[in-house]
Chains A and B, each alone.
Chain A
């Protein structure tokens, strides 16, 4: 039902021919079937008419305006947009860390009212507890839920193993690299068996190589775990590589521009980065986000400081 709605709202194709289908919408049969199955699954996350505004400098700023979309069980949905579009705020509201000004957020039919372990969160800044070991960090959620230390340790250890850090179970966070820290954070968030995992630009601080590796790890984990993922990012490649669907947001005010079904088949591999479907989807996203920016916004007023003829390009 959602798919047809989104099709109808598509108005960005420059071609006038009504029968024209842009390349990123030409889904292979397997992908189309996959989406059909996906939409039959129960809705895990439902966001309806969500708004967020706050007072700043005497005026009211609308950070989020009428955001509505749904994510189905075990869907991996990405939220992208330029900085200032409120995508992180959206993630924080779903996690229960920020309060919306209006609208509804439901997870498994239950209204969100503050943070709760059925919605795990992975932050960009790792936020590992520095005084706890890797295992201790993963045990935290289990401990506060009332499990004994032994039981918590028994349940936490498989998660540490799953993210490939069994050898570092007794290491402290300061001894780990950025990628390893973020794997601990993912294990910690999953250890309490959340219905929804919210990831707020989790790999943005990592170098390109580690980031690619982490994206691969995430897909491997997601395949094995019954969890729906809401992944906030500003990286288009990352979004296309990971997502089933991408919620594209615009800034000022933050709003949903379009919800894009990613036509790239699964399982995804690094080779897909160069496939025509991948490139076409990325181009479409670029166009959507680029439209938002005023022309000439990225020209700097620089005076020439070299001699005439001494040009570098």
Chain B
């Protein structure tokens, strides 16, 4: 009988694909948007709504390199032909805000090498360093208070009832709304920026950590109680190790949110960091650099996340890994049975 959902092929329902196919798809997920971008950039007939003048001819209103929209250019050509003047020449081009992939790739390199236009402006790597510092401080301060408080809220109703109603209210207040206030209180340097990242992260963090803690199997806590654990021991020996894996994942997600607040925070007071770089380059109409700046953030985010995920697998060896084997398990799988892994039955 033919199944309505065959197990083979590319679309098995909620089942993993072969690792080769999964890798291929991961590559395609980046390759497809890149391909689309390349197509729009390099195939003149696809979009290219403008004409870049290469030779102005006798038309005095143009200089070489100007972008004119196509209809205006055609009209100009006709007029020049009718009046017997030398027609302007040009090639189809995209708007200046859509640079081609190779231009952005080039900008990646040159952005780091190009000295700033003004003597008192920072280099790109300095801007980036400042951004990382702000986000790190904001996130560390938030975590240092938010994670312990969340753990307490998830374990004791006392702390939950005492703090969560207010936290719940406060998290609806948009962090950027505190921008002006933060500047007034803390000056125009990095302090208000760190404060905004803190406000944006902290309140979510308390609620998320509290919820994660509440999801810890009550059976584990009860087992520990019957074994004589005190309240403090329950926290340090059961709750913390019990939720640490989920907490780690929560933190990775929250770190992503902190990056969102970074953009706002850096606009507060004096514009600084990577946001300053992006804004400045947009002002100079160096759109290739703008894209490079944005992608830099994406790469840092993705890179740190992959690093943290890898680190997590090393830190928590008691986690059974569903699906793909890690390198360690690959090694263990070839050892004789019973040597490193337990058989399925006693």
Contact = CB atoms under 8 A, between A and B. Distances in A.
A192 B228 CA distance: 9
Interface in B260-285: none
B227 interface: yes
A177 B346 contact: yes
Interface string A287-305: 0000000000000000000
B178 to A, nearest CB: 39
B342 A168 contact: yes
B242 A129 contact: yes
B295 interface: no
B345 A179 contact: yes
A95 B219 contact: no
Interface in A159-209: 164, 167-168, 171-177, 179-180, 183, 185, 188-189, 192
B220, B244, B318: residue with the most chain A Cβ atoms closer than 10 Å: B318
A96 interface: yes
Given A144-B237, A172-B317, A177 B344 contact: yes
Interface residues of B, number: 30
Contacts, number: 98
B84 interface: no
Given A130-B318, A172-B318, A175-B341, A120 B237 contact: no
Given A123-B219, A127-B220, A140-B237, A174 B320 contact: yes
A109 B219 CA distance: 28
- Main SS of chain B's interface residues? loop
Nearest to B219: A127
Contact of A177 (B225, B242, B244, B342): B342
Contacts of B244: 131
B226 A119 contact: yes
Nearest to B230: A144
A198 to B, nearest CB: 8
Contact of B346 (A95, A174, A210): A210
A27 B294 CA distance: 85
Contacts of B345: 177, 179, 210
Nearest to B343: A177
Interface in B202-240: 217, 219-220, 222-230, 233, 237-238
B226 to A, nearest CB: 4
A82 interface: no
Contacts of A140: 224, 227, 229, 237
A167 B319 CA distance: 20
A265 interface: no
B317 A189 contact: no
Given A127-B217, A131-B316, A97 B225 contact: yes
A116 interface: yes
A84 interface: no
B241 interface: yes
Contact of A176 (B223, B319, B342): B342
A143 interface: yes
A94 to B, nearest CB: 11
A142 to B, nearest CB: 9
Contacts of A132: 241, 318
B330 to A, nearest CB: 16
15 contacts: A96-B226, A97-B225, A116-B228, A117-B226, A120-B227, A123-B219, A123-B222, A123-B223, A127-B219, A141-B227, A143-B237, A144-B227, A144-B230, A144-B233, A192-B228
Interface of B: 217, 219-220, 222-230, 233, 237-238, 241-242, 244, 316-320, 338, 341-346
Given A144-B229, A174-B319, 19 more contacts: A116-B226, A125-B217, A127-B217, A127-B223, A129-B241, A129-B242, A130-B319, A140-B224, A140-B229, A140-B237, A167-B338, A172-B318, A175-B320, A177-B345, A177-B346, A180-B346, A189-B227, A192-B228, A210-B346
Interface of A: 95-97, 114-117, 119-121, 123, 125, 127, 129-132, 140-141, 143-145, 164, 167-168, 171-177, 179-180, 183, 185, 188-189, 192, 210, 213
The 6 A-B pairs at the shortest CB distance, nearest first, are namely A117-B228, A141-B227, A115-B225, A174-B320, A127-B219, A127-B223
